[in-house]
Amino acid sequence: MDFRALWERALPYHQFVQEAANNRDLWTGMYRIARIPDWAVAEARSTGTKHHILVIAEDWCGDGTNTIPYIAKLADLSRAQEVRVLRRDEHPTVIDRYLTDGARAIPIVIVLDREFRELGHWGPRPEVLQAWVQVARKTADKARLYPRIRRWYATDKGQSTLREVLELFQRAPKAVRDHPSAPALAAG
């Protein structure tokens, strides 16, 4: 996957929001109220290198409106990352590389190093919420499920998303980590 070329085609986060046909006020409002803890900014800066954060999303995505504004604000505050967004429906071959249980679930956050090598990906939800949703969707009415998800996001305030995405910054690039001659890096 040519992440550098995808990066060039992706929209800067704030442009993506300005062009949003759906939920623009929600994207803008979530970014405005997002409070990024000092620990998260310090951790984002601590790597000493710039990271590119490539997000696969659509503006109608409720999980996106509840997670990506936190990541974008972290990037803006730390000045150690930049966030760009690819529209899922315009890039089916990219999202097909990151299927969730066979579905094109979004958002997907791909963390790249300064040379555009993939460090890892995250999404479509924080782990604990995703696990709950997978169980709850088997028995819960969909109309009742999403309000509970929104309440979870409101209580969590982006903390789980920030922790899980920041963990990716510490990884070795996939090309190095997956190489058979680098087993010590894979363990770290």
Query: What is the average per-residue pLDDT within 164-176?
Result: 81
Q: Report pLDDT digits (tens) over 138-151.
A: 888 888 898 999 99
Question: Domain map of the chain by residue range?
Answer: 3-125+158-183
What CATH architecture is 3-125+158-183? 3-Layer(aba) Sandwich (3.40)
- Least Cα distance to 125 among 185, 29, 61, 53 occurs for 61
Residue 141: the pLDDT is 84
Widest Cα–Cα separation across the chain: 50
- Least Cα distance to 37 among 166, 127, 151, 169 occurs for 166
Per-chain mean pLDDT for the chain: 91
Q: Report pLDDT digits (tens) over 27-49.
A: 999 999 999 999 999 999 998 88
User: What percent of the chain is predicted at pLDDT more than 70?
Assistant: 92
- Of residues 31 and 186, which shows the higher confidence score? 31
Asked whether the whole model's pTM tops 0.85, one would answer: yes
Q: How many helices (H) does the chain have, and how many strands (E)?
A: 11, 5
Residue 142: the pLDDT is 81
Q: Report pLDDT digits (tens) over 13-22.
A: 999 999 999 9
Strand pairing class (51-57; 81-87): parallel
Residue 184: the pLDDT is 37
